[in-house]
Structure formats: C-alpha cells, structure tokens
Amino acid sequence: MVYILLIHITILNLSNNEQINKVLDNLHKYASEANGEKYFQLFNDQAVFHGTDLNERWSIDEFKKYAQNRFNTGTGWTYKSLERNIFINSSNTTAWFDEILINDKYGKFRGTGVLSKVDGMWKIDQYNLLFPIPNDLLLKYTKEVKEYLKNNQIK
C-alpha cells in the first residue's frame, strides 16, 4: 500500500504528457518482464485490448486470462517505442495516442489507444496493436489474408 501511495504522489508531480508516457513505457516494460500484476494495474476495469489477429478483441478480463497464463511461464512480449504522439482533451480527462513500436522478431508495429484520468491517475481504456503493411504490398497481403479467413471460416 505504501508503494502504491509513493507511485501516486510521484506521478502527481509529473505533467499529463509525462504521466501518459510513463504509463505507456511501463506497459511495454511490464509486458517484457512478464509482470502481470503491475501490467494490469495500468488498465481501467472496462478496458479493451485489440491484438493483431481479427479475433483478438478482448475485454480486460479476457485479456488477463490469456496474458497472465503466458506471464506465469515467465514469458512476456517485448515492444520498444520508437516514437509516440499524445493528444489530450481540453479538460485533461481523456487522452489518445499513437506510437511506432519495434519487436526484434517481427519488426515495426503501430500501437494506438485511449486513456482516461481516474482519481488523478491515467489508465488505459483501449489499446490497439497492429502490423502496418506498406501500400506497395497491400494488395498481395490482403488477398492472402482474405483467402486465409475464407478457408478458416473466420468472419
């Protein structure tokens, strides 16, 4: 409890942008460390996580089941932010962002999402992880994905 209070006091002294950057940096840090307890404290109770697969639209509770099982094996996932843009509404209660991430195995990704301020703390409401496809390759890969979805009867 003292630890949480110290974090709260420290974060209150940071600007909104600094607080949001800290939340998002910690999101990636805790995932890499497979630290589910700290990772899921960054999300609101009604949060949604969108993964790269069409079927990966998870409520936070659904996502916890998946991710915590993985974290329990000591395995997380590592994405490092290369650049990030943060926008905050005029009442300083809602923020949205986009970021370019790098993963050693898969390359560059885009993360986007929304945060809201709850009791003075920024929490993630939605996170979207997607794999951007260069326009010159789009037609080739969309044909392949459409065929895959059709063959596997995925809507």
Domain with 130, as residue range(s), is 2-151
Q: For the chain, how many structural domains are there in total?
A: 1
Looking at residue 123, its amino acid is K
Q: Which pLDDT tens digit goes with each residue over 126-136?
A: 999 999 999 99
The domain that holds 53 is classified in CATH as 3.10.450.50
> How far apart are the C-alpha atoms of 87 and 98, rounded to whole Å?
9
> How far apart are the C-alpha atoms of 87 and 17, rounded to whole Å?
8
Q: Which pLDDT tens digit goes with each residue over 91-114?
A: 999 999 999 999 999 999 999 999
Q: What is the dihedral of CA 69, 75, 76, 77, to 10 degrees?
A: -130
Place of tokens 């945060």: 115
Q: Which pLDDT tens digit goes with each residue over 42-97?
A: 999 999 999 999 899 999 999 999 999 999 999 999 999 999 999 999 999 999 99
Range 45-53 contact pairs with CB under 8 angstroms and sequence separation of 24 or more: 46/125, 47/123, 47/124, 47/125, 47/126, 47/127, 48/125, 48/126, 48/127, 49/126, 49/127, 49/129, 50/126, 50/127, 50/128, 50/129, 50/130, 51/129, 52/109, 52/129, 52/130, 52/131
